[in-house]
């Protein structure tokens, strides 16, 4: 059997790509996953939605993705789980120069945001310790999404549009070589394809290497925790990136929050097929200490869950997306580097246009793995939370 496109991986990246390929005019599209929708890193994502990025490309993709999830009920037929409760970024003094520059750039692109010097939004970050807070920025249209619901919405819409989805179907290798990829090998035999999209996340590198393709991408272990704050105490209504203490947090509903460590932090490389999926005790203690010192109302918060998933990280922390100039029948869509969920819906739409019609914006073209050979790596002017 032959397909126009085979998409490997049904996280938010693969699901969005498959849906937009099918609705963009491709006739036979197959989506596969070794588990099910959002079974890998997507399902464990904090799924914070924000537009606070340092390049115009990521800002416009983040803006577009929020609109797409907002309109999911109409376009996809089911709710994408978007909660526009707002997003607040907290800056230290040494972040201010880059923060002001990025704030102005984001505003020029149409991002609705508000700047305040010092501890300026007590209603969004109530009863906080103000020490070290040099400025705060609030995006009312940020917030968070349900990563599983959003992914399932794309997969279900893809199937209703006539696409084929096969869960619990591991892809053993690509077929062909580094010059021409012609399909995939499953346990029950080969499948031919006009093009294969490698959206396998942390497992994308070994898949690419099966035909000799280099994919310089790390698999790093990312830990998160879920906590419940005691009743009767004020809590932030928004998702928060606290750059002063290198912590991010987002509401889960009720009085619960997902809380993790933001940049800078130590990243540990692991085997994506064999890694510890529970969080380390010292990590849990560290997160709790940082949050309770900044937010006294959180003192005595109750641990609900602590777990670890994977980030697929590229050399410049920007994903690899699109075809390669020296390889036919293959495209990348991996390397989210911690912010992949926030931009994947929009990337899937633009990737589909690129593959079907050859239409691609020049800034989007730089996502291609070709940037490695061309020496055109992205350079972030301001590092922030990547959670």
Q: How far apart are CA 271 and CA 229, in angstroms?
A: 35
The encoded tokens of residue 243 equal 């750059």
The strand pairing partners of 383, in sequence order, are none
Which domains, and CATH codes, for the chain? Answer: 2-65+147-217+316-374 (3.50.50.60), 82-143+219-313 (3.30.9.10)
Which has the closest alpha carbon to 194: 2, 1, 22? 2
Assigned token pair, 292: 């309770």
Per-residue pLDDT for the chain (387 aa), expressed as one digit of tens each?
Answer: 899 999 999 999 999 999 999 999 999 999 999 999 999 999 999 999 999 999 999 999 999 999 999 999 999 999 989 999 999 999 999 999 999 999 999 999 999 999 999 999 999 999 999 999 999 999 999 999 999 999 999 999 999 999 999 999 999 999 999 999 999 999 999 999 999 999 999 999 999 999 999 999 999 999 999 999 999 999 999 999 999 999 999 999 999 999 999 988 889 999 999 999 999 999 999 999 999 999 999 999 999 999 999 999 999 999 999 999 999 999 999 999 998 999 999 999 999 999 999 999 999 999 999 999 999 999 743 334 333
Instruction: Give the CA angle between residues 45, 47, 52 to the nearest 5°.
Output: 130
The C-alpha atoms of residue 260 and residue 158 are separated, in whole angstroms, by 33
Give the three-class secondary structure for 209.
helix
Token pair 């309109």: residue: 71
- Asked whether the beta carbons of 217 and 208 are under 8 A apart, the reply is no
pLDDT value for 379: 75
DSSP tag of 284 = H
Nearest to 16 by CA among 152, 141, 167: 152
Rounded CA-CA distance 294/365 in Å is: 41
What is the model's pLDDT at position 386? Answer: 37
Helix (H, G, I), strand (E, B) or coil at 180: strand
- Spatial CB neighbours of 95, under 8 Å, sequence gap ≥ 6: 134, 243, 382, 384
CA 42 to chain centre: 7
- Look up residue 309 and give its two tokens: 């998933």
The helix-helix angle for 340-357 and 56-70 (nearest 10°) equals 90
Count CA within 13 A, CB hemisphere, residue 294.
Answer: 24
First to last CA, the chain: 40
Q: What residues contact residue 74 under an 8 Å CB cut-off, 6+ apart?
A: none
Instruction: Tell me whether the omega of the peptide bond preceding residue 264 falls within 30 degrees of 0, making it cis.
Output: yes
**Strand 189-198 versus strand 327-334 pairing type:** parallel
pLDDT for res 1 = 81
The reported pLDDT for the residue numbered 380 is: 47
């Amino acid at each position: 059997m032959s397909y126009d496109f085979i998409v490997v991986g049904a996280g938010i990246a693969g699901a969005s790509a498959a849906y937009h390929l099918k609705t963009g005019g491709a006739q036979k599209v197959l989506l596969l996953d070794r588990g099910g929708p959002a079974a890998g890193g997507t399902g464990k994502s904090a799924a914070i939605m924000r537009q606070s990025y340092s390049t115009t490309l990521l800002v416009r993709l983040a803006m577009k993705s929020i609109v797409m999830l907002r309109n999911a009920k109409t376009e996809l037929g089911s709710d994408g789980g978007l909660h526009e409760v707002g997003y607040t970024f907290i800056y230290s003094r040494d972040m201010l120069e880059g923060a002001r520059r990025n704030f102005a750039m984001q505003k020029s692109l149409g991002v609705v945001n508000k700047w305040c010097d010092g501890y300026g939004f007590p209603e969004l970050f109530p009863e906080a310790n103000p020490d070290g807070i040099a400025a705060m920025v609030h995006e009312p249209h940020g917030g968070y999404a349900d990563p599983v619901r959003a992914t399932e919405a794309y997969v279900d819409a893809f199937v209703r549009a006539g696409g084929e989805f096969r869960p619990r179907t591991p892809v053993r290798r690509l077929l062909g070589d580094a010059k021409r990829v012609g399909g995939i090998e499953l346990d029950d035999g080969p499948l031919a394809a006009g093009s294969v999209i490698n959206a396998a996340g942390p497992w994308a590198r070994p898949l690419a290497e099966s035909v000799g393709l280099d994919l310089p991408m790390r698999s790093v272990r990312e830990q998160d925790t879920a906590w419940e704050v005691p009743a009767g105490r004020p809590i932030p209504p928004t998702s928060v990136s606290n750059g002063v203490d290198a912590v991010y947090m987002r509401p889960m509903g009720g009085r619960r929050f997902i809380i993790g460590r933001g940049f800078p932090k130590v990243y540990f490389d692991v085997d994506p097929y064999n890694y510890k999926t529970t969080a380390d005790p010292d990590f849990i203690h560290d997160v709790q200490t940082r949050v309770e010192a900044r937010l006294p109302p959180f003192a005595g918060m109750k641990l609900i869950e602590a777990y670890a998933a994977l980030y697929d990280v590229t050399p410049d922390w920007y994903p690899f997306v699109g075809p390669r100039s020296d390889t036919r029948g293959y495209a990348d869509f991996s390397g989210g580097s911690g912010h992949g969920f926030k931009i994947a819906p929009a990337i899937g739409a633009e990737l589909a246009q690129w593959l079907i019609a050859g239409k691609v914006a020049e800034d989007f073209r730089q996502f291609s793995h070709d940037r490695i050979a061309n020496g055109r790596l992205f350079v972030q002017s301001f590092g922030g939370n990547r959670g």
